[in-house]
Amino acid sequence: MKRLLIFRLIGKRPARRRYVFKRFGDFGIYIPVNRLFLVLFAALTALVASPAHGANTRATLLLSASTVKPGDTIMAAVRLEMSPGWHTYRKNYGASGIATSIKWELPKGVTAGEIRWPAPEKFVPEKVDDDGKSIPGSEDFEQTNYTLHDEAVLIVTLTIASNVDFGRIALKAHVEWLECQVSCFPGKQDVNAALEISSTTKPSEDADSIADWQNLLPKTGESLAPTARWENKTAKGARALLISWKTSDNSSGWDFFPERSEDFEMQHQTETVFETNGTAVVRKLVTISSNTWPNEISGLLVQKRSGKQESFAVTLRIGGGNEAPVETSGSNSPVKEKKPLWFWLTYAFIGGLILNIMPCVLPVIALKILGFVEQAKESPGRVRALGLVYASGVLVSFLVLATIIIAIKSAGHKAGWGMQFSNPQFIVGMSALITLVALNLFGLFEVTLGGNTLGAADKLASRHGASGAFFNGVLATILSTPCSAPFLGAALGFAFSQPPGIIVLIFLTVGLGLAAPYAILSWQPSWLKFLPKPGAWMEKFKMATGFPMLITAVWLTSLVGTFYGEQSWWLGVFLVLLAAGAWVFGEFYQRCNRGRGVGILFTVLLLATGYLWALESGLDWRHPQQPDATSEKVANAPKGYSWQRWSAEAVAKARAEGRVVVVDFTASWCQTCKISVKPGFEAKSVVEKLKQLDAVALLADYTSFPKPITEELERFGRSAVPLVLVYPADASKPALVLAEPLPFPSPYAPVIFNALGKL
């Protein structure tokens, strides 16, 4: 191994634009750009240095016998003892690392077999923020490593030839490894042991220890009757592999560690699909580097029993799936029917139409009504043009959203509808923008930059020209994204699993649905005659439209509590100072001829105070808290029944016990979840039915866009919340997917009650 000092953030995938990636053999290294020259200098220093071995790992060679006869076979054990917190790697090291190697120097007549590796531990690092600090509860499964820590013993069989001469011989080996904690360093050490060749065999002092270590090695897995098959043999980019085996009594933590292959890659994350009556089924995602899918896999089946890990070495021939997607017994996934593209385009258009009656879009509807009243006195051509401008604002916004989704997916990350509302900084910015729009509608201030220059966003929302029409289209799109609707959820779920061209087509179709009512009304100017005549009342109506906009601002501010905790009230302080600054600007600068300089000064002081004191110091808005995924308290849960935090393991456990399982996929920013689904679960009839069935109620909180929930939504063909699932007590039956709720207060309790009544 080269004498090379390697800096590595273990498993922490950094932002790509700020890091340089370098590969040494099979080992990937992320190096911060601003430290690149420092790392290069350290590497050059290491080249001229002479390290003896890793400072945190010590290697020794032990033998099972001190004296052997010619023709005997003995066990050699290379023991690696690591300092607390440090680890090395086995032959399949996972996302990154270097496997420990042993190079033997043996006398003539002695041969060494292959290394027999102990079972590894799965090391799942946490993600890091921009300052390089770990984010608790944010496991980065893509950077999972298979590690050995504390004490690792590598067993090798040594065969003594029958014609070896009597006498004392020396056995030597050169051991190299990579030891890691936060940084990684190469280590190496020469180890040796003496062996006496004579007419008798005598165990060594370490024979019992080596025997104990051998008992910890992976056992053969034939007794478990393991099987493997593709869940869907026709999948192209990635296939789900289902592995099942007979489990031990009181076992848990089922997993499969694959052996490394150059032809395919197996996802590190393991999903427990089903476990009951002594059988476990896990799902692993497989991708290939060629056009040939593997027909055989090797690896370790792992489970825990009585707190100890058991491992079994298996080689499995992969059985084929059906030509159509099939359902696994007890699977979390329903059977998915293949439908033509026109079907999903129809769903997308209808879903876009329904978005127009979402509560969060109502403020924009009020502005559009005001705009139509103003346009009633204009020429038909002008009205049509403004309708097209509004539609273009919607379509451009949806095109931007589609582009963002495609970029995120191309980078290997998960994407979902409304994901921007999982970004607390976005919510803070939108709260400020909507507040300014409301204050502008109230008439507190007007923004003009002189001449024909367009005003700022708050001025645009109240204008009825082309700029105002376009901005209203953008605003309607932004405010509609935290909401799903009937037809829309299924259409978006289909889109998110498709190539970029289909994603763009589906998103533009949703945009057409959202813009259609206004575009059609614009092209029928005669219909505008039913609207009231323009007059002084319009000023009052304009001010009235500010209140729905203000309600939207209040709703947005209510979302930050998840990310900032008790400090979230500082956002309210900032918005008050922002409003005061807007009032001073309008009253003492725009509508006052004297002291305009003082007005500007006080406006700047109020805005600066609001930002520095309220946002930066009080809220610390650039450093939000991560939701505690380990807390027993479940946020956003309906009242009246005991709800638990969702996980795939919780579903599997409850189904193994033969209990009905109800799962509510929700988010704090989902209005449909709050005004329709949550009241449905809180209805007395539903609560009593849940108690009667002794159902397990699980809540999947999508507020912060956790990856496991994103993957679960994708499995059911969805990319947005709400989604309600009901699993029957019979674990062989699939989950029931309840109908999507309407995007306004509606009786959803009967839908839930009827689904429970079918069980």
User: Are 719 and 654 spatial neighbours (Cβ–Cβ below 8 Å)?
Assistant: no
The mean per-residue pLDDT over the stretch 512-523 comes to 82
Structure confidence at residue 334 as a pLDDT band (50, 70, 90): very low
Structure confidence at residue 48 as a pLDDT band (50, 70, 90): very low
Q: What is the pLDDT of residues 192-232, one digit of tens each?
A: 999 999 988 899 999 989 888 888 888 887 778 888 888 77
**What's the farthest any 2 CA atoms get from each other in the chain?**
116
Distance CA 381, CA 470 (A): 17
| Residue that wins the pLDDT comparison between 538 and 391 | 391
Query: Among the listed ranges 116-120, 256-260, 593-597, which one has the minimum average pLDDT value?
Result: 593-597
pLDDT at res. 530: 57
What pTM was estimated for this model as a whole?
0.49
**If we measure between CA atoms, which residue out of 90, 85, 77, 81 comes closest to residue 57?**
81
Helices (H), 443-536: 457-462, 466-480, 488-495, 500-522
Burial 362-378 (b: 16+ CB within 10 A, else e): bbbbbbbebbbbbbbee
- Of 11-15, 163-167, 682-686, which has the strongest mean pLDDT? 682-686
- Check pLDDT > 60 for residue 676: yes
- Check pLDDT > 90 for residue 436: no
pLDDT at res. 39: 40
**If we measure between CA atoms, which residue out of 659, 677, 682, 658 comes closest to residue 720?**
677
Q: What is the pLDDT of residues 496-507, one digit of tens each?
A: 778 888 889 988
- Check pLDDT > 90 for residue 6: no
User: Are 249 and 276 spatial neighbours (Cβ–Cβ below 8 Å)?
Assistant: no
Q: Which residues make beta-bridge pairs with 241?
A: 230, 284
Pairing of strands 65-68, 184-197: parallel
Amino acid in the structure at residue 242 = L
Structure confidence at residue 494 as a pLDDT band (50, 70, 90): confident
- Check pLDDT > 60 for residue 647: yes
Percent of all residues in the chain with a pLDDT value above 90, rounded to a whole number: 14
Query: Among the listed ranges 19-33, 491-505, 622-636, 698-712, which one has the minimum average pLDDT value?
Result: 19-33
**Tokens coding 200:** 């008798």
Contacts of 144 (CB under 8 A, 6+ apart): 11, 94, 95, 122, 123, 124, 125, 268, 269
| Residue that wins the pLDDT comparison between 204 and 530 | 204
Query: Residue with structure tokens 């939504």?
Result: 713
Please state, in angstroms and as integers, the Cα–Cα distance from residue 94 to each residue in 14, 89, 267, 615, following that order: 18, 9, 9, 42
Query: Residue with structure tokens 């105070």?
Result: 609
Distance CA 726, CA 575 (A): 42
Distance CA 602, CA 587 (A): 11
Distance CA 231, CA 243 (A): 10
- Check pLDDT > 50 for residue 270: yes
Distance CA 726, CA 739 (A): 11
pLDDT at res. 62: 92
- Check pLDDT > 70 for residue 191: yes
Structure confidence at residue 611 as a pLDDT band (50, 70, 90): very high
pLDDT at res. 142: 63
Mean pLDDT of the chain: 76
Return the ∠ at Cα 586 (arms to 582 and 591), rounded to 5°: 170
**If we measure between CA atoms, which residue out of 576, 602, 572, 573 comes closest to residue 587?**
602
The mean per-residue pLDDT over the stretch 621-626 comes to 79
Structure confidence at residue 421 as a pLDDT band (50, 70, 90): confident
pLDDT at res. 136: 60
Q: Which residues make beta-bridge pairs with 128?
A: 134
Helices (H), 130-254: 207-215
Contacts of 327 (CB under 8 A, 6+ apart): 333, 334, 335, 734
Burial 310-338 (b: 16+ CB within 10 A, else e): bbbbbebebeebeeebbebebbbbbebee
pLDDT at res. 135: 63
pLDDT at res. 341: 86
- Check pLDDT > 50 for residue 327: no
Q: What is the pLDDT of residues 376-396, one digit of tens each?
A: 556 667 777 777 888 888 899
- Check pLDDT > 60 for residue 171: yes
Residues in the chain: 759
pLDDT at res. 680: 92
Distance CA 301, CA 450 (A): 72
Q: What is the pLDDT of residues 445-468, one digit of tens each?
A: 774 433 333 334 334 444 446 777
Q: Residue 174, CB half-sphere, CA atoms under 13 Å: how many?
A: 4
First to last CA, the chain: 63
Amino acid in the structure at residue 411 = A
Query: Among the listed ranges 55-69, 238-252, 364-378, which one has the minimum average pLDDT value?
Result: 364-378
Q: What is the pLDDT of residues 708-758, one digit of tens each?
A: 888 888 888 787 888 999 999 887 778 888 988 876 666 788 999 888 987
Distance CA 728, CA 276 (A): 14
- Check pLDDT > 70 for residue 49: no
- Check pLDDT > 70 for residue 399: yes
Element spanning 561, H or E: helix 561-564
User: Are 23 and 29 spatial neighbours (Cβ–Cβ below 8 Å)?
Assistant: yes
Contacts of 568 (CB under 8 A, 6+ apart): 557, 560, 561, 619
- Check pLDDT > 80 for residue 268: no
Give the three-state DSSP class for 690: helix
User: Are 296 and 318 spatial neighbours (Cβ–Cβ below 8 Å)?
Assistant: yes
Helices (H), 307-417: 341-355, 362-375, 380-410
Pairing of strands 661-666, 239-246: unpaired
- Check pLDDT > 50 for residue 2: no
Structure confidence at residue 627 as a pLDDT band (50, 70, 90): low
Distance CA 726, CA 114 (A): 50
Give the three-state DSSP class for 547: helix
